[in-house]
Amino acid sequence: MGGMRNLRNTLLCLAASAAASASLASTPAEDLLRSRLPEIFAKAAAHYKALDAAATPLADKGGKGMMQVPHGYDRKSGRLDMRDVNWWTTGHYPGSLWYLYEATGDGFFRDRAMWWTNLLEPNKDDSSHHDTGFMMYCSYGNARRILKTDEFDGILLATAKSLSKRFNGKLGVIRSWGKISDTKHFLVIPDNMMNLELLEWAGKNGFKEADAIARSHATKTMANHFREDGGTYHVLDYSLKDGRVQGIERGQGASCFTAWSRGQAWAIYGYTMMYRETGDAAYLDFAQKVADFAIANENMPADGVPWWDFGAPGEERDSSAAAIMASGLLELQKYAPKDMAGIYRAFAVKQLLSLAGPEYFSEGDEAGHWLLKHGVGHKPAGTEIDTPLDYGDYYFLEALLRFRALGD
């Protein structure tokens, strides 16, 4: 507890010595970012038009009878990395197109977003992993919201029902990875918090039990998945016999003793979203706790773009973690007490200015026309290290739109 109090005090001192950034009035950094938005969205739009032209002819070239969606870029071969529609990130590319439609009003993006979104329908019946929340809510969920239509509600409700089959009532959590039939292991990761947004939507739209499932998962995860200082574990293995945590695995992180940056970012975003959806103050407090861990971390670089793991300073940065964090913090600052709100907002603006700068925002086709360079997918597995990632772009665009909306 003392550690957390000190962390909060450190943040409050920072705020006091930077009075301008602690105020909710616009700051020079915000003014700069706001002045750059038209140019950033124009550059992003040009990138995605080129990306879409390259990706569309490849969509049916998968070879396994499954359509494919762009996911990343292979620097060695200079080729787009396309993934089958059942890959966990396939909602992000159409989601980015929806955001670009919102950002620019250009009908090209609406039409292309719809085309790619429609490819994902088969995922509605998939109960083999937890990521269908990401896949379908970033695509169909945005289509529903932006087009103001209930046309996709059946698909979204079916997806929520498939996802909820992975919930275990005795344990109170959703199984992230592994077969539903596995009785020895029950693996849960903080990324799963993101899939609860679909369940919260479903709970308010005809599938009532989904809300209880989402709350149970979030509450149990809050109790078990984080250290005293707010840092996250990646993989917990629950025992189906007695409900205890029987194992901790490093998963995509550097170790069991450090916090994987993207997992931490998922938690910041996920608990903020759960507060928005439920009004439960415990989730708001917890969102602040996990945010404070990241912001005040001694290993957080000055530009606000974290190392891929908080325990791996000097290795690669993860631009996707920064983008997810920025988007989460821009929402968190709306609900947090005023003294902390200015800090969250200023930190998110710093992250967005960094991501929109030459170190991270790609030029020409150097990153296959993806927006953000320097993402890390799964370093322990040796895959996707220092590379663009579809979800990095998605949350970057979302954060920019959230920032733009602050001025509306």
When the beta carbons of 91 and 342 are compared against ligand GLY, the nearer one is 91
Distance (Å, rounded) from C-alpha 314 to C-alpha 308? Answer: 10
Torsion of CA 267, 269, 275, 280, to 10 degrees: 10
When the beta carbons of 30 and 393 are compared against ligand GLY, the nearer one is 393
- Residue 131 makes CB contacts below 8 A (sequence gap 6+) with 88, 89, 191, 195
Count the neighbouring beta carbons within 10 Å of the beta carbon of residue 384.
Answer: 19
In the complex, minimum distance from the CB of residue 199 to ligand GLY, in angstroms, rounded to a whole number: 17
When the beta carbons of 62 and 380 are compared against ligand GLY, the nearer one is 380
Residue among 359, 343, 288, 348 at smallest CA distance from 321:
348
Which parts of 330-389 interact with ligand GLY (CB under 6 A)?
Answer: 377
- Residue 396 makes CB contacts below 8 A (sequence gap 6+) with 319, 323, 326, 352, 355, 371, 372
233 and 191 Cβ atoms separated by less than 8 Å: no
117 and 135 Cβ atoms separated by less than 8 Å: no
In the complex, minimum distance from the CB of residue 191 to ligand GLY, in angstroms, rounded to a whole number: 4
> Of residues 52, 81, 131, 318, which has the active-site annotation?
131
Beta-strand pair 167-168/68-74: unpaired
In the complex, minimum distance from the CB of residue 144 to ligand GLY, in angstroms, rounded to a whole number: 23
In the complex, minimum distance from the CB of residue 265 to ligand GLY, in angstroms, rounded to a whole number: 9
Q: Which of 92, 124, 262, 374 binds ligand GLY (CB under 6 A)?
A: 262
Cβ-closest residue to ligand GLY? 191
In the complex, minimum distance from the CB of residue 211 to ligand GLY, in angstroms, rounded to a whole number: 23
Angstrom distances, CA of residue 52 to CA of 47, 92, 193, 289: 9, 13, 30, 39
Number of residues that bind ligand GLY (CB under 6 A): 4
> Of residues 52, 81, 191, 211, which has the active-site annotation?
191
In the three-class reduction of DSSP (H, G, I as helix; E, B as strand; rest coil), residue 88 is classed as coil
When the beta carbons of 243 and 380 are compared against ligand GLY, the nearer one is 380
In the complex, minimum distance from the CB of residue 266 to ligand GLY, in angstroms, rounded to a whole number: 7
When the beta carbons of 71 and 124 are compared against ligand GLY, the nearer one is 71
Distance (Å, rounded) from C-alpha 62 to C-alpha 56? Answer: 12
Among the residues of 119-182, which ranges form H helices? 132-136, 142-147, 153-164
Count the neighbouring beta carbons within 10 Å of the beta carbon of residue 160.
Answer: 28
Which parts of 174-213 interact with ligand GLY (CB under 6 A)?
Answer: 191
When the beta carbons of 52 and 318 are compared against ligand GLY, the nearer one is 318
Distance (Å, rounded) from C-alpha 208 to C-alpha 227? Answer: 32
When the beta carbons of 30 and 191 are compared against ligand GLY, the nearer one is 191
131 counts as catalytic:
yes
Phi-psi region of 168 (alpha: psi -120 to 50; beta: other; left: phi over 0): beta
233 and 256 Cβ atoms separated by less than 8 Å: yes
In the complex, minimum distance from the CB of residue 327 to ligand GLY, in angstroms, rounded to a whole number: 14
Q: Which of 252, 258, 272, 288 binds ligand GLY (CB under 6 A)?
A: 252
Q: Which residues are catalytic?
A: 131, 191
Given the rule CB under 6 A, which residues bind ligand GLY?
Answer: 191, 252, 262, 377
